[in-house]
Chains A and B, each alone.
Chain A
């Protein structure tokens, strides 16, 4: 979650859902919280009952809108313009929280003279490398600081040259940076911000987003009136913001706005990132991501060599919390390689796999389709339904030697070889597919023990209620025994490549007839222990860089403090304070609200009695309050580091963002972002309109796979595909349907694939409520039922009417209820920071009736040509080279 990580230092929600009840205003945007997080929504309802204003900004009127005081329909894919408009409003009318902004953000920092804004370069920042499609960030740096200022919160980007790589210059930023605390210097962050958003006026918001000025001003006024010393406002978002080619910048825009309003680290404030499903937060903490090691440490890159010292030097910050990186990295290596890891052999750092480029899900699928991947494990995922461009996903599966799927039922990903639209149509024959498919039945969450890490970084232990049926087993069982067998197979090998497998520690106790490994033993290893006596450590402050401690994930260290499984604590809420610190355990150090030092003023006093949370107790000389202070417990507010201070000592008493090298939240990101230090409105790769703000239509740094089997529409106003589509979930189903489409009680509630259209569009296209329609993109088509509803309205953009069509994506070709898959319609484009798909805004067509041909672009050509006389439209301005968006793999091939 780099949007939050770059801005504040940690890639996780800044607050917890229970705290939403303290908000005076809640803006839910890019999320349908009532439908997708109904349990957490109770605290939004509680805030509303206490008098808070609830605002929902969304293309559709949803179950969340039904509860809101104010619902604002917006064009899908235009949120940066809307949020940028709010930033403009706050700055223009001087509604920002001046003391907060001045002391806790980098507003006063002066940026280098060479920096040029999108205002100067018509949609580009200085440093754009036209051949690469990437930025060189040298000009984005603080003036007076040599080299780059390392970013605290998005370590995976370290692998990219210039995108936050610390090197030996790191850390000097804090002391050498030039500042202007009057905020008047034309190159100080505050003034750059003003200039960057100066054209994001209410009129532009109306033009780009389709939100009338009066509605926009209502939101702006509500937010400003409910922010400041006495009042706080919160933002909630989910994948409606992330799944875009500029998704990370959506979250950056909200972060900037919340910082200007002084709403971060304070009760009732914050940005609540609502994660997509169970333990998604956990799967970035102890990552399933290719470019991260546990605890947000960067995965080493092949270019870096095998030297641990070099890795540490590159990534360690000399000021701020990341100065502790060596302790966490060495402890991780000790946890993984045990006694074999010694100081002499660099703790076997050389055994870690290395990045050679982009190995993201989308790149991997493209590689699979090109026959570059031999085998594939799929667990807890159904890419044939859930991922972008399902037909390419299945094409990839067909090119594998072997595929392993673990799930409850025979999901589409396991059945691609006999049940897929292209097989039903005859474009692909089962007998021609050579992939060997192995299906393993999986245990459900009630049939295994372990923890979930939920949306607010909270680890909650769950016990096993019943034994899994038949051959079903937990993931832990599968991975552990697979590893055990592999180790046995390679035990006698003398090959160097097999050494990591031989050295890895793999000795969890097992129990029962099925030899189920102990999840508690795994959690204890994650918590960490001292190597000599195997005593569990009490937290990450106990970890050392000399090999005397081991910990599987430093941010989780403390979850087994004092030998007690802290995650299994279940003290009822009524028996403790409202923060409920004794329910489960939250990383880091059981802090429920991050950056909570900012809930006090620079002198350490609460900003107001009403918004009291954490403060400095001058008598006891300690920080105290409702929560575990997210600060050095005994560092007084008046502490100022000396010039030669290093590490955590370099954090002053007024630096609440302790993960950052300069202790400040970043309004302007000198590093860490692939697509600009400030968020900029770009249109989605397929849009109904031309970019009204810049000559550059789309994010110039986006990832785009230019393949014949993934055709894209005209960049804007494609006459073949005139409507805006957005995909989403409904309460009644779970993501790609593996857990819901097989259940009668859920299937009957939303039994068929449907689309939602406005009465106006229905009239225009002859669609009838409850009848059939066919929706179509250049990638494929889909038959679905029609729900005609006033909840969708056409929007007026710059004089033209734009129709939006809603398309839930839960259905596939297996299960009790079936359809051919909405995500088959999606293109293959992605955000450059996290390689996430663009599924929330694309274009397409709709016609009445059942006319689906079942054609898929991955197996046959489906798109009609552009009508004569309609020229192609450029996604990139002429500044950008034709090769800027060639896939990484192709570049790699060229290099070879």
Chain B
């Protein structure tokens, strides 16, 4: 089966939202309501239980390398965001029922028939990707079109993307493609281009992302965390701190007992 993933190249994204619609259609997801946000052309806001692909629009008062525009120091960045299918997936590690599994494609999948809606995964995701649906309480997120992959089909979003901004494939091939792309962009003078979450070296906190990105500005600009860390990564330290705390409390308790005895007349 091999490791599968997405390489999302934001320099090629034209913000058409075909990925968002194709995802909703294939997965038969409900709408998020009809609200004008005033946030550029983004009216669905964020990834959530009913939005598994989300296109962010960033109007920034910074010129784009290689671009000249008469509107002044300005550029418009677009990025199609998705579940990252982390190597160390916070949701999977936090799931107490075993509903969230790693598939034969090395993707992270929520089994809806097992999920009991406890919501532990929601707080465990460093990207805020997974969330619970109000109607049935269960947790939902991108399946990386598990049902399509089984049939040898490309995920709906990548299939619908007209400009190859979203590329689906074997992880090692995607890595090579991304490296080549970075090289080409740098040669062309777009030195701001870099990869986000390509592998463990690139992003130790998650062990690398199966769905990784090519960005032109700081992750925060796109609404991505600059240094995401899966909660379990800190488990050792956390338990250590808990142990230290317990030890301290025990010492205090013991001490107060002993000292108290001494103080008694």
Contact = CB atoms under 8 A, between A and B. Distances in A.
Given A42-B164, A750-B41, A790 B61 contact: yes
B7 to A, nearest CB: 15
A71 B30 contact: no
What 9 A-B pairs come out closest when comparing CB atoms? A770-B38, A751-B34, A744-B31, A71-B69, A752-B36, A38-B16, A66-B76, A34-B14, A748-B31
Interface string A554-597: 00000000000000000000000000000000000000000000
A4 B104 CA distance: 56
Interface string A57-100: 00001011111111111000000000000000000000000000
Interface string B56-82: 000101000011111110111110000
Nearest to A70: B68
Contacts of B61: 790
A212 to B, nearest CB: 7
11 contacts: A38-B162, A64-B14, A71-B71, A730-B41, A731-B17, A745-B21, A745-B24, A748-B33, A750-B43, A751-B43, A786-B38
Contact of A69 (B14, B18, B67, B162): B67
Nearest to B42: A749
Interface string B21-42: 1001100001111111110110
User: Which of A211, A745, A817: most chain B Cβ within 10 A?
Assistant: A745
Interface string B145-163: 0000000000000000011
Contact of A67 (B14, B30, B74): B14
A748 B66 CA distance: 34
Interface residues of B, number: 40
Contacts of B18: 38
Interface of A: 34-35, 38-39, 41-42, 45, 61, 63-73, 211-212, 215, 218, 730-732, 744-752, 754, 769-771, 785-793, 816-817
A63 B71 contact: no
A762 to B, nearest CB: 12
Contact of A745 (B25, B33, B69, B162): B25
Contacts, number: 126
B139 to A, nearest CB: 21
B117 interface: no
Contact of B67 (A38, A70, A770, A789): A70
Nearest to A730: B41
Given A45-B163, A66-B15, A748-B31, A785 B36 contact: yes
B44 interface: yes
B192 to A, nearest CB: 15
Contact of A791 (B74, B78, B164): B74
Given A747-B31, A752-B36, A69 B12 contact: no
Nearest to B164: A42
Interface string B124-162: 000000000000000000000000000000000000001
Given A73-B71, A745-B21, A816-B34, A789 B15 contact: no
Given A67-B14, A747-B31, A788-B38, 14 more contacts: A38-B14, A38-B18, A38-B163, A39-B162, A41-B14, A66-B15, A70-B68, A215-B70, A748-B44, A750-B43, A751-B36, A785-B38, A791-B71, A816-B34
Nearest to B16: A38
B163 A42 contact: yes
Given A38-B18, A66-B15, A751-B35, A744 B30 contact: yes
A771 to B, nearest CB: 8
Nearest to B36: A752
A70 B43 CA distance: 28
A810 to B, nearest CB: 13
B16 A731 contact: yes
Given A66-B78, A745-B21, A789-B59, A211 B43 contact: no
Given A731-B15, A817-B34, A790 B72 contact: yes
Contacts of A72: 69-70
A66 B43 CA distance: 19
A71 B12 contact: no
Contacts of A788: 38
Contact of B16 (A35, A61, A747): A35
A732 B14 contact: no
A430 to B, nearest CB: 27
A522 B78 CA distance: 45
A773 to B, nearest CB: 12
B45 to A, nearest CB: 10
Contacts of A786: 38
Contact of A770 (B12, B37, B164): B37
Contacts of A792: 71
Nearest to B21: A745
Nearest to A215: B70
B22 to A, nearest CB: 9
Nearest to A212: B70
Nearest to A211: B70
Contacts of B43: 748-751
A701 B78 CA distance: 44
B68 A218 contact: yes
A787 B67 contact: no
B59 A791 contact: yes
A789 B44 contact: no
Given A749-B43, A791-B59, A66 B24 contact: no
A817 B36 CA distance: 11
Nearest to B33: A748
Most chain B CB neighbours (cut-off 10 Å) among A39, A63, A64: A63
Given A34-B16, A41-B163, A754 B36 contact: yes
B162 A41 contact: yes
A752 B43 CA distance: 10
A749 B67 contact: no
A816 B76 CA distance: 29
A41 B164 CA distance: 11
Contacts of A816: 34
Nearest to B29: A745
A747 to B, nearest CB: 6
Contacts of B34: 747-748, 751-752, 816-817
Contact of A790 (B12, B59, B67): B59
A817 B34 CA distance: 8
Among B14, B37, B59, B74, which residue has the most Cβ atoms of chain A within 10 A? Answer: B14
A751 B61 CA distance: 26
Contacts of B69: 61, 65, 68, 70-73
A770 B33 CA distance: 16
A748 B32 contact: yes
Contacts of B77: 66
Contacts of A747: 31, 34
B24 A71 contact: no
Nearest to A744: B31
B70 A793 contact: yes
Contacts of A71: 67-71
Contacts of A785: 36, 38
Contacts of A769: 38
Contacts of B31: 744-745, 747-748
